[in-house]
Amino acid sequence: MRMSNNEDKPITYGDVFLVSSELSSEIIAPEDASIMQSVESLALGHVPRGGPASLMQSAASQNERIGVVATNDFATEHCVTVSQVEVGGTLVVSESVGGEVVAQYIYPSEAADEERSTRYPTTGVQEDAVTVGEALEAVALKPEGNKPIEHSDAAAIQAAEARATGRSEVVPGGVGAEAQCAASINAQTDDKTTLRDVLKDATSKLIEDKAAKREDAEGVVGAEIRNTLDLAIHPGGVAASITIASDLNKF
């Protein structure tokens, strides 16, 4: 995600989501966030923590603080949708503004209350292995989960997601994209998004998961270190948690 360090620059959809065309340059207005909150509530029965509506609200609040007012409310004038489809025992949720998908993530469906080895049939690992997603969620359960997300945390989360999914690109609406957006907004506001906010349900945001291995830990550690001033990992943070998981798995 792109975000300018200029505090007077309005936050657009392109700053927060991986979108293009007309939507990318549109300023996020409070009315846009309200509409997305209403649609999420109607479609899902709740407003997902750290979801599109939440991110839009943070961006809109920042735009209000710097005195920026959108010339039009894009979401008011264009279609906002939240769709759900069950695929292979998981519920795939897609959220769109003006026909462009701004987020896509998965929840276990009610019919998919199975053991992890069944939920992740492509991993081929023993049932008691700690997955990358579980290692990310472990961060949220510790005191370190209260830490506001920085760019080094986002880089580590993106690296972990890439290791879990086998995809080098950032997954739109995934945990890595959410973390990067949070880090960018955190740099401009006092209302900080924490590691817990993003990682507490990390496994449901990963399109695939796998057991954490030593090479996965090394990749995540490298990503976190490269984005810190002191070239060190955060104690109890993302890289540390993935490393502990790989040690427990012993492979």
Query: Residue 29 above 90 pLDDT?
Result: no
Query: Residue 111 above 50 pLDDT?
Result: no
**What are residue 82's DSSP bridge partners?**
95
The answer to whether 131 and 241 are in contact (CB under 8 A) is no
Lookup: tokens for 146: 């209260």
pTM passes above 0.85: no
For residue 120, which phi and psi values (nearest 5 degrees)?
Answer: -120, 70
CA distances from 138 to 29, 142, 193, 218 (A): 34, 7, 17, 18
Residue 226 and residue 180: Cα distance in Å, rounded? Answer: 15
Specify the pLDDT at position 126. 44
Q: Which range is least confidently modeled, 6-10, 29-33, 98-102?
A: 6-10
Specify the pLDDT at position 118. 36
Closest CA to 201 of 114, 124, 105, 110: 105
The answer to whether 216 and 246 are in contact (CB under 8 A) is yes
Query: What secondary structure letter does DSSP report for 112?
Result: G
Instruction: Give the mean model confidence (pLDDT) for residues 166-191.
Output: 88
Sign for the CA dihedral angle at 166, 130, 105, 137 comes to negative
Residue 116 and residue 138: Cα distance in Å, rounded? Answer: 16
Specify the pLDDT at position 108. 66
User: Quick check: helix, strand or coil at residue 144?
Assistant: helix
Instruction: Give the mean model confidence (pLDDT) for residues 211-218.
Output: 94
- Split at pLDDT 50, 70, 90, the class of 125 is very low
Specify the pLDDT at position 161. 96
Summary mean pLDDT of the chain: 81
Query: Residue 251 above 70 pLDDT?
Result: no
